[in-house]
Amino acid sequence: MARSFAAARVGLGVRRLNAIKRALIYIIVTFLAVVILIPFFWMLSTALQQEGDIFAWPPKWIPDPPQWRNFADAWNAMPFNRYLWNTIFIVVLGITAELASATLVAYGFARFRFPGSDFIFLVLLATMMLPFHVTLIPTFLIWQHFGLVGEFDPLVLRAWTAWGPFYIFLLRQFFLTIPRELDDAAEIDGANTFQTFFLIMLPQIRPALLAVAIFAFRGYWNDFLGPLIYLTDMELYTMNVGMYFFMGGVNEAPQWNYLMAMSILIALPVVLLFFVAQRYFIEGITFTGLKD
Amino acid sequence: MSKRLSMLMSVLLVIALVLSACGGSKNNGSSGNGGNTAGTDGGSSGGNADGSGQKVQIRLSTWAGADEAKELQAILDDLNAKSDVYEIVQDSNPAEYDTRIITQLSGDSGPDLFWVSAQRAAQFAAGGVMLDITDRLANSSHPAANTDDYYEASFGPFTHDGRIYGLPWLQQPVMLYVNKALFDEAGLSYPDESWTWDDFIAAAKKLTKDANGKRADEEGFDPNNTVQWGFTLNGWPPVQMFIWQNGGEVITEDGKSPIDSPEAMEALNFYADLVQGPLVPSQTIIRDRGFDQMFRNGQVAMFMGGAADDLDRTVENVQAFMVPAGPDGTHVTFADILGMGINAKTKNPDAAFQAFLDLTDAIHHWKIMPPRKSLADYETLKELHPDKAHSLEAIIASMQYGRPYRYSEKYPDWDNIFWTQLMDPIVNAGARPSDLVPKVKPLLEDALK
C-alpha cells in the first residue's frame, strides 16, 4: 500500500517534470520562431508601407493605412507578366530535365559496378564543394562556344547533363534501399534493364522523385545569378532578375516597398510548397544528412 | 552478358540525350564555333553604306533601375528613330553589374556598349577591354567628341598611356545640402563660396541641439541627449576630399601615399573629431535611423551628397551649396565619374562608335551634371532640370573643383586597405589617426607596387 502510494508520487513527480520540460521547450521554440518570423513580418510591413514611412523614426510596424496597391503597382511597374511566364518556362523544363537525367545517373551508380565507379562517384560528390563563382566563367565560355548565351538554353540544357550531384546522391541512396531481389525477379520475368528501371525502380522511389522535384523547383525558382549572367535581353528576364530593378541605381533610391512586395509574391509559392510538401523536404534531408 | 549490355545501353542513352539536347537547340542560337553573332546582325560595320542595308543592332548594358531604365528607353527610342545606321537595344539591370559585365566581356558575347564606373574604366582601359577611340574622336566633328569641351578631371579614368578608351557622361561633384529652415531657425546665413572649415564647424555647432533646446556652443549642452545634429558622416563623404582641401594627397603620381604629411594628418584629425564628436550622430544612431533619412526628416541640418541626389528636389527647404573650402580657402570636391565604353571585341566598331557618341550626347542632356563645359550653363540646365534650379549655380561652380580618386589597376587593393585598416577603425571604433597612420602607410604603398 505504502509502496504503491510512493510509486504514484514518483510517477506524479516525473509527469510534472515532463510538463515543465515540455513547457520549457515550447518557450524556447516560440522564442526562436519569433526571432525567425520578425524579418518576414518586416518584409510584409515594408511591402504595405507608403514610401515615406519605411524609414520613419520611431519605426511604424503596422502600416497605416496599408498600401495594398503596392503589390499591383510593383507588378505593373515592369513587365512581370512576361517575367513570370519566362520563369515558369525555365522551371518546368528544368525540373523535367533534372529528374530525367539525375534518376538515370543515380540508377547507374546504385546498380552497376564498373571499374572506378566508386572513384567517379567520389569525384561527383566532390564537385558539390566547388563554389558557383569558380565555375561561372568557364561554364559561361562553354555555352558561348555553343552560341547559346542570351537564350534560355544554358539555364535549362545544363540540367540534362545531370549536373546536380546532390540529386544524384539523394536518388542513389533511395535506389540502394530497394532490394536487389526485385531486379532479379524482373529479370526472370524477362524485363530488360530499361523496363526494370522505368516499371519497377522508378515507382519505388516516387517519394524521392517528389523530393528532387521540390528541391529543383526551389532551385530554379530562386535562381538569380544564372539568369542574370546568361540572359542579355530584358524581355527574357525572370522574376528574380526583374525584381532587382527596384534596387535603384546610382542616384536612384531603391523602392523598398515594391522590392518587398515582389519578394513576398516570389517567396509565396516556395513557402506554400513547403507547407504542402514538408514531409519530402525533411525526407530528403534525413536520408542524406545533407541540406541542399 | 545482359548486365554489360545494359550498362553500355544506358551510357549510350545518356550521351544521346545530351547530344540531342544540345543539337536541338542550336538552330535558335547561331553558328557553332565561337563566331556567335546575335541573330539579327544584318550588315557588317558600315553595311548601311548602300542605303538598303538593315540597321546594325548595338547592344547596350547598363545598371539602370526601374525608372532610370524607362527614361533611358525613351532616349534610345528617339535615337533609334533618327538613325539609319544602328538600333540600340537596352539590357539593363542594377544587380551585380560588375559580375555580370565582367563575365559577359570575358567571352565574345559581351555588349557593344556598356556603362562603366570610373574605377572599372581605369581597369578596363589598362586591360584592353575597351576600344581605343583616340583617333576616332580626333576625326569626328560630333559635339560629344570634342575632348577640349570636357572637364579635365572627368577624363582621367578613361585615359591610359595617353590613349582614350571611353567618354564620361557624368561628373557628379559632392555638394553640401542644407536644410534652410533649420539655418533660419538658428539665425544663420546660408553657406557661400567663402565658407571654410571654420565657418562650417561654427554653423554645425549652432545647428546641433539637445532636448532642452541648448545648442552645442552653449553652456550646459548635453551631448548625450541630442535631438538635432549639425552634420553627418559615416565614412561618406570620403576623407580624401578633406585631405585635398587641406593641400594633402593620398596617392601621388609616383605611387606614394603621403597620408602622414602634416596636411593629411590635420585633415584626418578634422574628420575623426567630427565623426567621434557631438556634432555628428553616433554610428549606431545613423544605422538605426538611416543616413540620408535623418537629413530628410530634419534631424540633421547639413548633408554632403552627389550633385544629382534628389534631396533638393524632394525635401522642402533643401538647397545644395558648394562644400566648404580648406582652411586656406582651397576649393576641392570629390567627383564621382561615370561613363561609357565600347567593347574592344565589337563586331561593328563604326556603328557602335556612332551610337556611342549620339547616346553620350543624349545622356549629357539627361543627367546632372554633364562633364562638358559648354553645357555648364545655368539657363540651359535650368530648362533641363527645373526641379533643381535653385541648386544649379552652386553645382556649376563646383564642377571646376571636382576631382576623382587616382584610379589605377591596383586601386581596389589600395582602397580596400585604406577603408578597412584606416577609416573603418576611425569611424566605427573611435580610433585616432595618429595611432593608425604609421602602420597603414607602408601597407598602402605596398598595394600600389
pLDDT at B42: 36
Provide the pairing of β-strand B402-403 with B333-342.
parallel
Higher per-residue pLDDT: B408 or A52: B408
pLDDT at A162: 79
Do residues B206 and B277 touch, judged by C-beta distance below 8 A? no
Using CB atoms and an 8 Å cut-off, which of residues 39-58 of chain A contact chain B?
Answer: 55-57
pLDDT band at B36 (very low <50, low <70, confident <90, very high): very low
pLDDT at A11: 64
Residue A10 lies in a domain: yes
Do A102 and A165 belong together in one domain? yes
pLDDT band at A9 (very low <50, low <70, confident <90, very high): low
- Indicate the range of A44-53, A214-223, B73-82, B382-391 predicted with least confidence: A44-53
Cell numbers representing residue A275 in the block: 507547407
Do residues A137 and A250 touch, judged by C-beta distance below 8 A? no
Owning domain of residue A208 = 78-288
The mean pLDDT value for B94-115 works out to 88
The mean pLDDT value for B148-169 works out to 92
With an 8 Å Cβ cutoff, is A228 touching chain B? yes
- Which residues lie below 8 Å from residue B128, measured CB to CB, with a gap of 6+? B344
Find chain B residues with C-beta within 8 A of A139's C-beta. Answer: none
The mean pLDDT value for A265-283 works out to 83
Q: Could you write out the DSSP letters of every residue in B17-52? A: HHHHHHHHHHTTS--SSS----TT--S-TTTTTTS-
Chain A nearest CA to B369, separation (Å): 12
Task: Identify the residue whose cell numbers are 561527383.
Answer: A124
CB–CB contact B90 A234 (8 Å): yes
Do A11 and A102 belong together in one domain? no
Which has the closest alpha carbon to B449: B411, B416, B422, B397? B411
How many distinct structural domains can be found in chain A?
Answer: 2
Round to the nearest angstrom and report the end-to-end CA distance of chain A. 58
With an 8 Å Cβ cutoff, is B27 touching chain A? no
Chain A nearest CA to B242, separation (Å): 23
pLDDT at A51: 77
pLDDT band at A286 (very low <50, low <70, confident <90, very high): low
Facing residue for A144 by CB, picked from B2, B9, B108? B108
pLDDT band at B44 (very low <50, low <70, confident <90, very high): very low
Which domains, and CATH codes, for chain B? 56-173+337-403 (3.40.190.10), 174-335+407-447 (3.40.190.10)
Task: Identify the residue whose cell numbers are 556603328.
Answer: B351
CB–CB contact B100 A228 (8 Å): yes
With an 8 Å Cβ cutoff, is A142 touching chain B? no
Find chain B residues with C-beta within 8 A of A137's C-beta. Answer: 103, 106
Residue A92 lies in a domain: yes
CB–CB contact A161 B107 (8 Å): no
Do A187 and A280 belong together in one domain? yes
With an 8 Å Cβ cutoff, is B52 touching chain A? no
Which of B2, B19, B25, B391 would best serve as a mutation to test chain A binding (most A beta carbons within 10 A)?
B25
Do A88 and A230 belong together in one domain? yes
Do A93 and A34 belong together in one domain? no
Round to the nearest angstrom and report the end-to-end CA distance of chain B. 67
Do A43 and A89 belong together in one domain? no
Which of B10, B28, B120 would best serve as a mutation to test chain A binding (most A beta carbons within 10 A)?
B10
Residue A64 lies in a domain: no
Q: Indicate the residue type of B65.
A: G
With an 8 Å Cβ cutoff, is B32 touching chain A? yes
| Residue in chain B nearest A141 by alpha carbon | B107
Which of A251, A255, A256, A266 would best serve as a mutation to test chain B binding (most B beta carbons within 10 A)?
A251
Q: Tell me which DSSP letter residue B343 carries.
A: B
- Indicate the range of B103-107, B411-415, B431-435 predicted with least confidence: B103-107
Residue A55 lies in a domain: no
Q: Could you write out the DSSP letters of every residue in B246-295? A: TT--SS-TTS---TTSHHHHHHHHHHHHHHHSTTS--HHHHHHH-HHHHH
Q: Could you write out the DSSP letters of every residue in A11-56? A: HHHHHHHHHHHHHHHHHHHHHHHHHHHHHHHHHHHHHTS-GGGTT-
Chain B nearest CA to A195, separation (Å): 11
With an 8 Å Cβ cutoff, is B383 touching chain A? no
Alpha-carbon distance of A148 to A137, in angstroms, equals 14
Task: Identify the residue whose cell numbers are 598611356.
Answer: B161
Residue pLDDT, tens place only, A167-197: 999 899 889 988 888 888 888 999 898 899 9
Instruction: Return the bridge partners of B342, or none.
Output: B113
Instruction: Return the bridge partners of B228, or none.
Output: B209
Facing residue for A144 by CB, picked from B6, B107, B289? B107
Higher per-residue pLDDT: A180 or B2: A180
Q: Is the peptide bond before B386 cis (omega within 30 degrees of 0)?
A: no
| pLDDT(B285) > 50 | yes
Facing residue for A157 by CB, picked from B22, B306, B310? B22
Chain B nearest CA to A225, separation (Å): 8
pLDDT band at B41 (very low <50, low <70, confident <90, very high): very low
The mean pLDDT value for B155-159 works out to 90
Alpha-carbon distance of A113 to B15, in angstroms, equals 19
Do A39 and A84 belong together in one domain? no
With an 8 Å Cβ cutoff, is B213 touching chain A? no
The per-residue pLDDT of chain A, averaged, comes to 86
Residue pLDDT, tens place only, B202-241: 999 999 999 999 999 999 999 999 999 999 999 999 999 9
CB–CB contact B65 A248 (8 Å): yes
With an 8 Å Cβ cutoff, is A106 touching chain B? no
Residue pLDDT, tens place only, A123-173: 988 988 888 778 888 888 888 888 888 889 889 888 888 788 889 998 998
Do residues B404 and B371 touch, judged by C-beta distance below 8 A? no
pLDDT at A248: 78
Facing residue for A149 by CB, picked from B61, B107, B293? B107
Provide the pairing of β-strand B166-179 with B318-321.
antiparallel
pLDDT at A29: 94
CB–CB contact A251 B172 (8 Å): yes
Chain B nearest CA to A192, separation (Å): 8
pLDDT at A8: 59
Length of chain B: 449
Element (H, E) at B161: none
Do A32 and A91 belong together in one domain? no
Do residues A162 and A105 touch, judged by C-beta distance below 8 A? yes
Do A37 and A150 belong together in one domain? no
Alpha-carbon distance of A149 to B106, in angstroms, equals 12
Residue A56 lies in a domain: no
Q: Tell me which DSSP letter residue B423 carries.
A: I
The mean pLDDT value for B177-184 works out to 96
Report H helices in B277-372: 283-289, 291-296, 311-314, 349-364
ipTM: 0.72
Higher per-residue pLDDT: B73 or A130: B73
The enclosing domain of A82 has a CATH number of 1.10.3720.10
Do A95 and A152 belong together in one domain? yes
**Which of A181-202 are b and which e, b meaning 16 or more Cβ less than 10 Å from the residue's Cβ?**
eebeebbeeebebeebbeebbb
Chain B nearest CA to A99, separation (Å): 13
Find chain B residues with C-beta within 8 A of A232's C-beta. Answer: 59, 61, 91, 104, 109, 111
Report H helices in B324-432: 349-364, 378-384, 389-399, 411-417, 424-429
How many Å separate Cα B308 from the centre of its chain?
11
Q: Tell me which DSSP letter residue B229 carries.
A: B
Do residues B27 and B42 touch, judged by C-beta distance below 8 A? no
Chain B nearest CA to A23, separation (Å): 35
Cell numbers representing residue A97 in the block: 530535365
Residue A22 lies in a domain: yes
Q: Provide the Cα torsion B171, B175, B177, B183; round to 10°.
A: -150
Find chain A residues with C-beta within 8 A of B90's C-beta. Answer: 234
- Indicate the range of A270-284, B7-21, B140-154 predicted with least confidence: B7-21
Alpha-carbon distance of A3 to A18, in angstroms, equals 22
Chain B nearest CA to A131, separation (Å): 15
Which has the closest alpha carbon to B302: B287, B284, B315, B285? B315
CA atoms within 13 A on the CB side of B85: 15
Residue A57 lies in a domain: no
Do A264 and A152 belong together in one domain? yes
pLDDT at A177: 87
Chain A nearest CA to B10, separation (Å): 8
Alpha-carbon distance of B322 to B310, in angstroms, equals 16
With an 8 Å Cβ cutoff, is B99 touching chain A? yes
| Residue in chain B nearest A159 by alpha carbon | B18
**How much of chain B exceeds pLDDT 90, in percent?**
71
Alpha-carbon distance of B156 to B154, in angstroms, equals 6
Do A27 and A139 belong together in one domain? no
pLDDT at A102: 93
CB–CB contact B33 A145 (8 Å): yes
Residue A282 lies in a domain: yes
Find chain B residues with C-beta within 8 A of A124's C-beta. Answer: none
pLDDT band at B51 (very low <50, low <70, confident <90, very high): very low
Q: Tell me which DSSP letter residue B408 carries.
A: -
